[in-house]
Chain A
Amino acid sequence: MTSPFALLSLIIALPFLGMLFVLTAKDEENTGKNALNVCIFTVLANITLIWRVFMLIDDKKTTLQLFEYLKWLPRPQIDITLAVDVFSLLLILAVHLAILIGLVGVKNNTVKQKSQMVFTLLFLSMITGFFVAEDIFSFYIFFEAMLLPLFMLLGISGGIKRQELIYRFFLYNFFGALILFAATMTLYHYYGTMTLQQLQNLKIKDEIEFYVWGAIFISFLSRIPIWPFHYWISSINSGIRNPLVFIICSVMPLTGIYAFIRFLPSVSSLPVELYSTWVSIIGIITMLFISLIGFINKDSQYKIFSYITVCYILYLIGVYTLDELILLNIGYSAFSFIIIFAALEILSDYIYRKEDQYGSGTLGALCKVKRLSFAYSYLTIAAVGMPLSAVFINNFLILSKLLETNLRMGMLLIGTLFMVGITLLQELHRLKTENSSCRMKKEDDISLALFAFMLAIMFILFMSFIRPLWFVLDA
């Protein structure tokens, strides 16, 4: 089925057009309200388009749909193909919602708002392109292109004090992208231009298979905070003092996981099995490691980071099973997970801004602010896997399949999920512990508008628990 009105191109182009519009937006000095409004409007418009795409596809099918073809270069012959399936569309929607939440989180930010909005929209365009790319070239281009706005956002608005961390982070990701370039070129050299579906069914020549898969694994893993390189990403994430940038940065590992889904062959080969076994082992070590450090770390940002990392690695290990049901459930679970961590991050940021304002600790910060307390509790409880979002059922399915493969591995995974859940609950407990020195008052509660927005987010999460694709109306 081909896409009507080039809808897929449109959902890539719309944030890009929005970016151009933001560039021309007039703003009073340093307020950036216009830029923010344009950005929010663009994201909302694109969400509507994505919803429309959902209505056009067959949500019962797990295969790619709505193909768009574009002949790009005749020599060397490079054709662009775009397509989506339920999984990729869910991720696109989740990223849009997460960025929308992030935008709400920075609405009072007055410093370099315009440039922040420009790069946010550019990032959104690139990541959407990445999720709909169906040939190796466009896939590579978007894979690499999203680094630029990310780097700019980190540098301009991230609030990271140690600038060398940003260079390190960029170099690390850039190195990964270069390796993917080498793998893509090798594949092109031997087999010419191809779609990702063709690549999945391709039997790569024995003499290069080991190297090509090695390069692909390294490049995709460079996006995921896996041991021992988690330290690079964790030092960046825990240093970010801007919720929008944190959310965008935390979405990056998703690209690594999605890339594995699109590249892994439908019939596993020896190198792939070998690499995925090793990555699974390292992944479990990372999960244990991060969950333990998250437990002892006092920084709430690190706690959220440890939660995010553990969930991503769980999805990654799930991806290696190559089970269609698991893949679909990873999509459903990731949809809620992304929204949860984005919403948690902006509330956490709100609390820490108040702390800065009063110069007091955050112990007991939620005691007198009912709206904030309710929203924070709901999100934490949903994050740990209680039946308030799609994370609940879908993680059950993913873990059952992993337990089927290896009981010990599965139990370790459950153990890390438990640890990271306790880490989040520990933070909730700390924020709710009565403390006389806490200076947050009733008046410091979130505004009614923000609370209404949070209620809408909670509604989306709860509906995703009842039925993952509840927003897709049956024809």
Chain B
Amino acid sequence: MGLLCFYIWNNPLSKQISQDLIPWLPYEGFKANLNLSSSAELWSLMFILTGMATFVLGFNFMLHTEKRYSPFSSIVFMNLAFAILLYNSQDFLQLMAGSFGMTLLSFYGIENAQIRTKSLYYGFFTEMCLFSALAIVFSRLDNINLSSLQGFSQKGYHRDLIAILVLLTVFGKAGLILFQNKLLDMKKLPFSRIMNICFLGNIIGSVILFVKLQPLWQASKLSEIIIPAMLGLSLFWGFFGALIIDNIKAKALYLNLMLYSLVFMLLYHNGGHWDERVFYLFPLGMLLNFLLAIPVIFASNEVYVSEMGGFAKYMKRNYLLTIFACLCWMVFLNQIRPQGEENYIYIYEGLVLTALAHILYRIYWGKENSGAYVIALLTNMSTPIWAILMLGLGFGLWQCGAETPLLIYGLYGLWLVLSCLGIFRFLEPLDEMEIIQDTDFFKGLYHYVIVAPISLLGRILWLSIDFLIIERSVIGGISEMTTLAIRGLQRIQNTTWLNYLFMLLVGLAIILLGIGNCHD
């Protein structure tokens, strides 16, 4: 908060560019400064982030999803401070401190202790990858300035290794495929926390890292294979998850996974440079999360879609807002115009709309599955809040509407019809299949591929080397030898004068031989 206040105080709302360097480490050959400068680009990012933070806090305040306002609010603001720290980093130390700080914030931002520590595993893994990559780079370049990375592709030390480490950091931090468990675990949290972590936390950190460390991943040819493969897989994994998983919070998280995929794809196609369009994608993702939060909040915290259905009858106002927001989403997304061959934006849009159509059908139109108790408690959001939201969305639509081709409205109409028909109804029996709904394939994969072999190796080393060889053989042997030596000495000391005489003679002989050798 202090950092944020300093920043805002020091850089008035004039988008002025300033240079604020605070000396940090004074070592010779390892000087580091804390950079808190500002730039127009940072202001754009901060504008979006502050807007989203305000929305999360407002959501929390108006819908009472969080019991402890103050700690949560401070975490939301701290995210902004760390985003500034990370964005402004000009050296490895500030970059790592910012990135590690965001991991810590996500740790403290999760109230469920179990998920919190589990997320720390992932966070620690990704930070160790970043740490290793930068340590290798520093060991070769002998420079901690990020500007020195520009020449890295020419010098090219251990390019593939460093690129893999950087990509593991970025994608692991974001929670893309292979690391999606980190993201999906959040389904046990309230929506306000989900939105905070998914749009203000680590994802922002990973995007900044992706851009800042672009010379490192771009230096390797491997990244040309890894990046599209991981992003493509994430997009489709997210789509199928959003379509078939029963838990509505999980659905929201799968939609976020799809969004992340798009964000990185845009950045990748832009050569790893900043793309302002990316900033505007995050609020769109947050809007989708909000739409899925509505039925949960106004249906007594019911999170299973299979327990909903036919809500449109009871929550007309909510439904109206939802479908209107979907129109706005389409119009806003249209503003992020594809440049060149960026057809994946259309793929993303198509997949999201398909998943949304199915989700909304099941919530608002499908067969009524909820009990009488839940139905009795279904409510609409209060008129003032509803009106504010409709006006806000309407204003946005009005701003962008003029530039929107009619085709979008046509597509929207088609989508609306589809969302009422429920063409994916045949997927409903999947709700009952435990293997799809609850089985964590990646957890099993990690367990059998990484954890189990390591544990086995550790156990073998412990039992065979530590216990059998060292304890039993080496230490046991030394112990036996000591016992034998002591017994031997005890026998000599058995008070018979012949033994003492013998020992005296041996001692004398040693001394005489020693003196003889000295004279030689």
Give chain A's interface residues, CB within 8 Å of chain B.
168, 228, 231-232, 235, 289, 292-293, 295-297, 325, 328, 366-367, 373, 377, 381, 384-388, 392-393, 396-397, 399-404, 407, 410-411, 414, 417-419, 421-422, 425, 428-429, 432-434, 466-467
Q: Which of B103, B117, B469 contacts A386 (CB 8 A)?
A: B103
A-facing mask of B37-67, CB < 8 A → 1, else 0?
0000000000000000000000000000000
A-B contact pairs, 23 of them (CB 8 A): A228-B474, A289-B465, A292-B457, A292-B461, A293-B458, A295-B455, A296-B459, A366-B113, A384-B124, A385-B127, A386-B100, A386-B103, A393-B25, A399-B131, A399-B135, A403-B136, A407-B158, A414-B128, A418-B125, A429-B121, A433-B114, A466-B24, A467-B24
Which B residue's beta carbon lies closest to that of A427?
B117
With A387-B101, A429-B118 known to touch, is A411 a contact of B475 (CB < 8 Å)? no
CB neighbours of A466 from chain B (8 A): 24
Q: How far is the CB of A153 from chain B (nearest CB, A)?
A: 23
Q: How far is the CB of B78 from chain A (nearest CB, A)?
A: 14
Contact between B135 and A289, CB atoms less than 8 A apart: no
Contact between A400 and B135, CB atoms less than 8 A apart: yes
CB neighbours of A433 from chain B (8 A): 113-114, 117
CB neighbours of A410 from chain B (8 A): 135-136, 139
Give chain B's interface residues, CB within 8 Å of chain A.
24-25, 27-30, 92-93, 96-97, 100-101, 103-104, 107, 113-114, 116-118, 120-121, 124-125, 127-128, 131-132, 134-136, 138-140, 158, 454-455, 457-459, 461-462, 465-466, 469-471, 474-475, 479
CB neighbours of A297 from chain B (8 A): 458, 462
Contact between A417 and B462, CB atoms less than 8 A apart: no
With A293-B461, A433-B114 known to touch, is A421 a contact of B136 (CB < 8 Å)? no
- The secondary-structure label for the interface of chain B is helix
Contact between A292 and B113, CB atoms less than 8 A apart: no
Q: Which of B29, B101, B125, B454 contacts A292 (CB 8 A)?
A: B454
Q: Compute how far the CA of A421 lies from the CA of B123 in the bound complex, rounded to whole angstroms.
A: 12
Contact between A231 and B471, CB atoms less than 8 A apart: yes
With A396-B96, A403-B136 known to touch, is A414 a contact of B117 (CB < 8 Å)? no
CB neighbours of B136 from chain A (8 A): 400, 403, 407, 410
Q: Compute how far the CA of A388 lies from the CA of B104 in the bound complex, rounded to whole angstroms.
A: 10
With A293-B461, A403-B139 known to touch, is A411 a contact of B100 (CB < 8 Å)? no
Q: Compute how far the CA of A269 lies from the CA of B50 in the bound complex, rounded to whole angstroms.
A: 61
Contact between A396 and B134, CB atoms less than 8 A apart: yes
Interface centre among A328, A403, A419 (most CB of B within 10 A): A403
CB neighbours of B458 from chain A (8 A): 292-293, 295-297
Contact between A381 and B125, CB atoms less than 8 A apart: no
Q: A373-B113, A404-B140, A433-B117 are in contact. List 15 more A-B contacts (CB 8 A).
A: A228-B469, A228-B474, A289-B465, A292-B457, A295-B455, A297-B458, A385-B131, A386-B127, A387-B100, A396-B92, A399-B135, A419-B454, A421-B128, A429-B118, A467-B24
Contact between B120 and A425, CB atoms less than 8 A apart: yes
Contact between A401 and B128, CB atoms less than 8 A apart: no
Which A residue's beta carbon lies closest to that of B451?
A295
Contact between B131 and A403, CB atoms less than 8 A apart: no
CB neighbours of A295 from chain B (8 A): 454-455, 458
Contact between B128 and A387, CB atoms less than 8 A apart: no
Q: Which of A168, A367, A414 contacts B113 (CB 8 A)?
A: A367
CB neighbours of A399 from chain B (8 A): 131, 135
Which B residue's beta carbon lies closest to that of A399?
B135
Q: How far is the CB of A98 from chain B (nearest CB, A)?
A: 25
Q: Compute how far the CA of A386 lies from the CA of B470 in the bound complex, rounded to whole angstroms.
A: 35
Q: Compute how far the CA of A386 lies from the CA of B121 in the bound complex, rounded to whole angstroms.
A: 12
Which B residue's beta carbon lies closest to that of A395?
B131
Contact between A228 and B470, CB atoms less than 8 A apart: yes
Which A residue's beta carbon lies closest to that of B97?
A387
CB neighbours of A404 from chain B (8 A): 139-140
Contact between A401 and B459, CB atoms less than 8 A apart: no
CB neighbours of A407 from chain B (8 A): 136, 139, 158
